[in-house]
Amino acid sequence: NAGVTQTPKFRILKIGQSMTLQCTQDMNHNYMYWYRQDPGMGLKLIYYSVGAGITDKGEVPNGYNVSRSTTEDFPLRLELAAPSQTSVYFCASSYSPSGVFTGELFFGEGSRLTVL
Amino acid sequence: AQTVTQSQPEMSVQEAETVTLSCTYDTSESDYYLFWYKQPPSRQMILVIRQEAYKQQNATENRFSVNFQKAAKSFSLKISDSQLGDAAMYFCASDSGYALNFGKGTSLLVTP
């Protein structure tokens, strides 16, 4: 019963470094998401994917890239890390049969990233 | 842009009492879902309750219930018989057709 698994849970980066946050789900969900959570700001959508090979930008995509080569995996790439990317990142998935979004998201435990 | 507004940054309730958390939303969808998620200090996002907009009956899950006013675009969460374990951040979310839009959250403190 793993659900949505994110790694790493914590990471400190220096300005200009790059890294990838890994996300995998074992529920055969077709939709997957990356959100970031900043204090007092709720969750903001970075990127989402409605299926393998399909990705699209959310509200705050700048500075990030994603890929979806399999149903299970949805990694988030940070290029040239900046202090503004210090945040908690959540991966989530959803089962939307026949492409009809049903709304319920299943979340990973979050990854806290600090850029110094 | 679709928005979700939670006007109460913090709320406090005594154990065993009832508290209501407010949420208003704006959506262009004709049929949609609304959610309340709970985030305890562990950071895990936990689904509390879900409402389908086409259903007029308010959703209920044990001690949690909603007051859904579609015309007013209001979706409040009522927690009855509050327990210490209810202390958390509560996020209201609306369906954008492919993802959820979240409010900024309400921090709920439960006092003995």
**What would the pLDDT profile of B37-77 be if each residue is shown by its tens digit?**
999 998 999 999 999 998 889 999 999 999 999 999 999 99
Q: Is the pLDDT of residue B96 over 90?
A: no
Taking CB atoms and an 8 Å cutoff, what residues of chain B touch A50? Answer: 98
Does residue A62 contact residue A113 with C-beta atoms inside 8 Å? no
Q: Flag whether residue B105 sits within 8 Å of chain A, measured between CB atoms.
A: yes
What distance in Å separates the CA atoms of residue A21 and residue A115, rounded to the nearest whole number?
14
Q: Residue B87: pLDDT band by 50, 70, 90 thresholds?
A: very high
Q: Which residue of A has its CA nearest to B89?
A: A42
Predicted local distance difference test score (pLDDT) of residue A40 = 82
- The half-sphere exposure of B110 on its side-chain side, counting CA atoms within 13 A, is 19
Taking CB atoms and an 8 Å cutoff, what residues of chain B touch A87? Answer: none
Does residue A32 contact residue A101 with C-beta atoms inside 8 Å? no
What distance in Å separates the CA atoms of residue B30 and residue A33, rounded to the nearest whole number?
23
Q: Quote the strand ranges of B33-105, DSSP E.
A: 33-39, 46-52, 60-61, 64-69, 74-79, 88-95, 100-102
What distance in Å separates the CA atoms of residue B12 and residue A30, rounded to the nearest whole number?
39
What distance in Å separates the CA atoms of residue B10 and residue B106, rounded to the nearest whole number?
5
Q: Is the pLDDT of residue B1 over 70?
A: no
CB contact under 8 A, A110 and B9: no
Q: Is the pLDDT of residue B2 over 80?
A: no
Q: Flag whether residue B45 sits within 8 Å of chain A, measured between CB atoms.
A: yes
Six-digit token string for A107:
């979340």
Taking CB atoms and an 8 Å cutoff, what residues of chain A touch B97? Answer: 101
Closest CA to B17 of B48, B49, B61, B63: B63
Rounded to 5, what percent of chain B is helix, strand, coil?
Answer: 5, 55, 45
Q: Quote the strand ranges of A1-116, DSSP E.
A: 4-7, 10-13, 19-25, 31-37, 43-51, 54-57, 64-66, 76-78, 87-94, 106-107, 111-115
Characterize A43-65 residue by residue with b for buried, 16 or more Cβ atoms within 10 angstroms of its Cβ, and e for exposed. bbbbbbbbebeebeebebbeebe
Predicted local distance difference test score (pLDDT) of residue A24 = 98
CB contact under 8 A, B43 and A109: yes
What distance in Å separates the CA atoms of residue B67 and residue A102, rounded to the nearest whole number?
21
What distance in Å separates the CA atoms of residue B65 and residue A102, rounded to the nearest whole number?
20
Residues of chain A with pLDDT under 50: none
